[in-house]
Structures are given as C-alpha cells and as structure tokens.
C-alpha cells in the first residue's frame, strides 16, 4: 500500500494522545488507592490539554486524507458495518472525555460524589470521566486497528497482531510522553510512568516482531492464476492496458526499493524499542529532566517509520493486475 | 431477484480496446461523468477509467498463448467495498444488483478501493470522489431507449461479441446459459466475494475421428457379403 502521511500522523498522534490520557488516569487511580502521591490539578489539566492537542492534531491530519473533507460529517452514518465510521464516532467521544476530564481537574470540581467501601475510596467526577474515558480510549484503539485488520485481502494486516500493535505501541508512546511530561514538570512520577512505558514498549516489541515474522513467511491466497483464472504455472503480464500511471498504480504500492523498506524497518526497530528504553533508564539513573523528552521524541519518530513500514508492507492483491506497463 | 452482470468471453476477445473507449465516451458525457483526464497529451497522462483491457502471455515460447483480459467492476453479490464505506455512498442496488457510488455522499477516503481485491475503483483526481463501472446504469434503465440499446456501452461496442450482458440469476438468460455450458468462472474465488461478472475460458476445440467412424466396420452388408468387388457401385455407395 501507499503510505499516506495523513494516516501515518493520524494513527501515531491519536495513539500517543490516548496513551497519555490512559497514563494520567492510571496515575490518578494509583493515587486514589494511595499507591503513589496525588498530583496537583494543574498536572492533570496540563496533561489532558496535551492529550487533547494530540487528538486534535490527529483529527486534523486525517482531513488531509479525504478528497472531500467538507463532507466528513457523513462518515458517522454507517457505524453498523464500517470500522472507519466507528472510529469517526469514537474519536470525538474520546476528545470530549479528555476535555471534560481536564476541565474538571482544572476548575477543581473534584469533590467526592460518593465513597466506595468502609476504608473510603472517594470517587469524584474526574475519576468517573477518567475511567469511562479509558474505556473509550481502548475502544478507539480497537476501531483504529480494525480499519486495517478487517480488510481480509490485505493479509499482512488481517491478523490480531494489528490490534495488539496499535494498542501496545499507542500505550508505549503515551506512557513515554507521560514520563517526559512528568520529568519536564519535575514531578516524581517519572519512574512510575517510565516503568510502564518500558513494560508496554517491551510487550509491543514482542507483538510487532511476531507480526514481522508472520508477514515474512506469509503465503498469499491470490495469485496471477486466480486473478485471471488461467490454470498455467507460467503467466506473464504483457500490458496493463495503459502506458502511464493511474490510481491503481499510485495508491497500492510504495514505489520504493526493497532496500529502502528494509532500512526503514531497521530504523524503526531501533528507534521505537531499544533507544527510548535505554534513554528512559539512563534518565532514571541520572535523574535527568530532558532525557525522557528525548526518549519520547525518538520513539515518536520511530513510530512514524513503523507506520510507514506497516502500510508499505501490505501487498494488495490488485497489484497482480499491474505488473507490467507494456 | 435480478443480478445484472457481464460475461466476458476470453475465447473471442481480440484486445482491441473498443470497450475501453466506448465506456469512457459514454460515461464521461453521462450520469457518471466527467471521467477526468489529466495531462492527456503530455509525457505522463493519467485519468479515470472504468474498464481496461490487459494482456497476459501464458506459457513458454513457442508454446505460448496471448490472453486479452478486459477488467472492470465485477458487481460482486457479496461486495466487500460496500460495508466498509463510512458514509453509505457505496451501495448495491436492490432491484438489479449493480454496485454504485453516490458521488454526492462520497468523502473520497479511498477505503472502499482498499477493500476491493480486484482494483476496479478509482478516485477521480479532480472530483475527488470514488468512481467505478456503473454497468451504464443510465443506459440500461432508460425506458426511452429501444430494448436492443438498453445495454452497457462496452457490450454494444464489442466487435467480436466477447461481452454478454444479462441477468445471471435468471437460469434461462443468455449469460446464465453461457456460464453453465461454456465453463464460466469467477475471478479470485478464494475471497468469497461471489462476483456477478463471469469469464468464459479460452478453448481449443478438437475432434477425434477414428478410421472406424469413416468406414462403418460393422455394416452387416459388408460383413455378410462374400462378393469380391472391383470398383463397381455397391450398396454402400447408393443413397436412398
């Protein structure tokens, strides 16, 4: 497939935004049950603003993918059958939850609504928005990933690994950003978020490597034989019916050499996994406020390459019909 | 239920591209138009086409065969491009099974083209909406045209009658009989899309005639006749 920058930015930005929101909620839940120190309202409000900014930027990027962006509102109508439509509904819902979560923290509307148990777990509006928003965030990961995993002809994508990767890579980058944010503000949560970021990064390394291995040995169902229905082992295209380009030759292939793709794979395997993990560990040892920011930046750049490779790796069966100009 | 479709006979297609040009001419000036061309006289022309003719070579020289392969939307009975559309712009007509795009609803997200294994949908470079073969829906449903002309432009243009058109759900239609009796097959059956369009295979017709079929070996007259003939007319030569 042709990797479109708009979709690369959409999926990586909202993935990190959701992950950051989940990190904030995780921190709040940990603080509520007194495992870590509670943070200031500004910490949550600022973090929510950052998460919302990423989600808005992602949504903005997605409009560049559309031929007719002025009609984008129509995309919410077919949620019964289309994962893309479901994403179009869940993404604004996610933004609303992040917005409410941040605003309630910012305005200090955190009086407990009720208390759970005798020991006393006070539940305020932000916790309600946080936990329900977390469910929406997970739903959005699934919707985004299923857009790709549900196209059965794109066999590189049609696997549960796609969902695992979108979820875990989003969580990794989000928690890495939370660590960077905490380090930048000078709070003591760098270790907490950093540890989770490392855990999710390592889990993502497992699922992403498994996906790469699976796809390297993938045997495609379609062949030139089934494409034109001629039973012969030797079939060669002599003409694709036109001499220059068309939508079919532009949209479904990355137009780069195998070497370029292999190099990009190496780059993302380094930048997404070992580099940020080493940087965040180094930051923990040195108590550096800037290294976690660098760790997130490295991982995000790596994720751009990862997403490019994700698209480039998928071989669409329609390419069987476009193997030779003349 | 009616399912209109094309049946393309690869045995007689000569690869003349008449279906390609007639399709472009009819549809660019009709309901589905314009089918935009960009840089048509330049070095790298590109444009929207609903139909293409491709050419494949089968086998090693000298035992090769050239297959001209017209390719357009197959109007699948279970079209994978329809459910993925987020706006409902992509739909399959209930009354005749033709898969269409509502240009006023399409947002140009290209998702349907990803979900088509055959690559028959093209995003129009200027209108920015998805386009595809309509089976000339504005011709075939036009009651003001005479019955013989209510056919897709490509079918009317084909000089070798390689394109048959009709209802593949009617067992007695020309297309159903052709599929049934001439080995019609669907493309990429592995995906379960159940294309309505079918292709008829290339065929070589051989007939084996043994000497016994030329000379009736078991003719009782020759069996029982002990006469020695020397070129004169016999009962075998007499026509009644």
Domain ranges of chain A: 5-321
What residues of A are in contact with residue B109 (Cβ under 8 Å)?
Answer: 65-67, 75, 84
CATH of the domain spanning A5-321: 1.20.1630
Asked if residue B171 is part of any domain, the answer here is: yes
Specify the pLDDT at position B239: 65
Interface contact flag, A152 B80, Cβ < 8 Å: yes
The CA distance from A219 to the nearest CA of chain B, in Å, is 13
Q: Which residue of B has its CA nearest to A325?
A: B54
Per-residue pLDDT of chain A (326 residues; tens, 9 = 90+): 999 999 999 999 999 999 999 999 999 999 998 899 889 999 999 999 999 999 999 999 999 999 999 999 999 999 999 999 999 999 999 999 999 999 999 999 988 888 887 777 888 999 999 999 999 999 999 999 999 999 999 999 999 999 999 999 999 999 999 999 999 999 889 999 999 999 999 999 999 999 999 999 999 999 999 999 999 999 999 999 998 889 999 999 999 999 999 999 999 999 999 999 999 999 989 988 899 999 999 999 999 999 999 999 999 999 999 998 86
Longest dimension (CA), chain B: 91
Distance between CA A197 and CA A142 in Å, rounded? Answer: 20
Say whether A222 and B44 touch across the interface (CB within 8 A): no
Name the closest residue on chain A to residue B80, using Cα atoms.
Answer: A151
Residue B40 lies in a domain: yes
Q: What is the pLDDT, as a whole number, of residue A117?
A: 76
Q: Within a domain: residue B220?
A: no
Computed from CA positions of residues B229, B233, B239, B240, in that sequence, does the dihedral angle turn out positive or negative?
negative
> What pLDDT sits at residue B33?
81
pTM (2 d.p.): 0.91
Q: Containing domain of residue B36, as a range?
A: 4-200
Domain assignment present for B178: yes
Distance between CA atoms of residues A267 and A160, nearest Å: 24
Domain assignment present for residue B106? The answer is yes
The pLDDT tens digits of the residues spanning A294-322 come to 999 999 999 999 999 999 999 999 999 99
CB contact under 8 A, B123 and A67: yes
Query: What is the SS3 assignment for B170?
Result: coil
**Burial zone of B217 (CB within 10 Å; 0-12 exposed, 13-18 middle, 19+ buried):** exposed
Give Cα separations from A242 to A280, A301, B29, B159 (angstroms).
53, 38, 21, 21
User: Is there a contact between A66 and B109 if contact means CB atoms under 8 Å apart?
Assistant: yes
Output the pLDDT for position B202: 93
ipTM above 0.90, yes or no: yes
* Total tally of structural domains belonging to chain B: 1
From CA A20, how far away is CA A53, in angstroms rounded? 11
Low-confidence ranges of chain B (pLDDT < 50): none
CATH number for position B194 = 3.30.70.20
* Euclidean distance between CA atoms B231 and B180, whole angstroms: 50
Instruction: Give the single-character DSSP code of B106.
Output: -
How far apart, in whole angstroms, are the C-alpha atoms of residue A204 and residue B142?
A: 57
In a domain? residue B229: no
Task: Specify the pLDDT at position A33.
Answer: 87
Nearest residue in A to B17, CA atom: A241
Instruction: Say if residues A81 and B83 touch (Cβ distance below 8 Å).
Output: yes
Chain A: closest CA distance from residue B117 (Å):
5
Is B231 part of any domain?
no
Residue B215 lies in a domain: no
Phi, psi dihedral angles at A323 (to 5 degrees) = -100, -15
């Amino acid at each position: 497939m042709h990797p479109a920058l708009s979709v690369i930015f959409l999926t990586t930005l909202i993935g990190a935004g959701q992950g950051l929101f989940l990190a904030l909620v995780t921190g709040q839940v940990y603080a509520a049950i007194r495992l870590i120190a509670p943070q200031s309202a500004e910490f949550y409000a600022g973090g929510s603003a950052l998460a919302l900014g990423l989600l808005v930027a992602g949504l903005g990027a997605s409009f560049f993918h559309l031929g007719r962006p002025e009609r984008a509102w129509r995309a919410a109508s077919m949620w019964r059958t289309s994962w893309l439509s479901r994403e179009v509904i869940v993404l604004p819902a996610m933004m609303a939850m992040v917005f409410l979560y941040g605003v309630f923290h910012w305005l200090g509307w955190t009086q407990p609504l009720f208390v759970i148990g005798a020991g006393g777990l006070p539940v305020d509006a932000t916790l309600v928005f946080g936990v329900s928003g977390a469910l929406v965030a997970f739903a959005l990961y699934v919707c985004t990933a299923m857009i790709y995993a549900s196209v059965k002809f794109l066999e590189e994508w049609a696997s549960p690994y796609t969902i695992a990767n979108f979820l875990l890579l989003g969580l990794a980058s989000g928690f890495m950003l939370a660590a960077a944010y905490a380090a930048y503000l000078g709070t003591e949560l760098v270790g907490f978020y950093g540890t989770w970021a490392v855990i999710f990064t390592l889990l993502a390394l497992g699922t992403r490597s498994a996906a790469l291995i699976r796809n390297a040995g993938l045997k495609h169902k379609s062949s030139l034989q089934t494409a034109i229905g001629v039973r012969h082992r030797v079939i060669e295209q002599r003409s694709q019916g036109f001499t220059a380009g068309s939508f079919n030759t532009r949209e479904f292939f990355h137009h780069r050499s195998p070497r370029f793709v292999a190099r990009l794979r190496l780059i993302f395997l380094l930048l997404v996994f070992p580099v940020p993990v080493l940087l965040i560990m180094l930051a923990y040892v040195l108590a550096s406020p800037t290294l976690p920011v660098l760790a997130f930046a490295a991982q995000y750049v790596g994720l751009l390459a990862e997403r490019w490779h994700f698209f480039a790796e998928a071989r669409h069966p329609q390419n069987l019909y476009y193997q030779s100009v003349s | 239920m009616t399912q209109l479709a094309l049946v393309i006979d690869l045995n007689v297609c000569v690869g003349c591209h008449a279906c390609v040009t007639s399709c472009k001419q009819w549809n660019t000036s009709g309901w589905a138009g314009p089918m935009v061309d960009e840089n048509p006289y330049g070095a790298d022309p590109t444009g929207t086409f609903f139909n293409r003719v491709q050419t494949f070579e089968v086998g090693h020289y000298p035992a090769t065969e050239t297959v001209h392969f017209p390719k357009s939307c197959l109007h699948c009975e279970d079209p994978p491009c329809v459910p993925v559309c987020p706006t409902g712009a992509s739909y399959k007509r209930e009354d005749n099974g033709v898969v269409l795009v509502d240009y006023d609803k399409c947002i140009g997200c290209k998702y349907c083209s990803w979900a088509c294994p055959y690559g028959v949908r093209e995003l129009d470079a200027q209108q920015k909406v998805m386009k595809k073969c309509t089976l000339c829906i504005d011709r075939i449903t036009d009651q003001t045209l005479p019955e013989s002309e209510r056919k897709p432009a490509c079918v009317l243009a084909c000089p070798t009658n390689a394109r048959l058109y009709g209802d593949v759900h009617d067992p007695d239609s020309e297309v159903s009989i052709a599929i049934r009796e001439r080995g019609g097959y669907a493309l990429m059956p592995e995906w379960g899309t159940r294309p309505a369009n079918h292709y008829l295979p290339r065929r070589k017709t051989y007939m084996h005639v043994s000497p016994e079929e030329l000379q009736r070996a078991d003719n009782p007259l020759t069996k029982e006749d002990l006469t020695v003939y020397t070129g004169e007319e016999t009962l075998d030569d007499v026509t009644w």
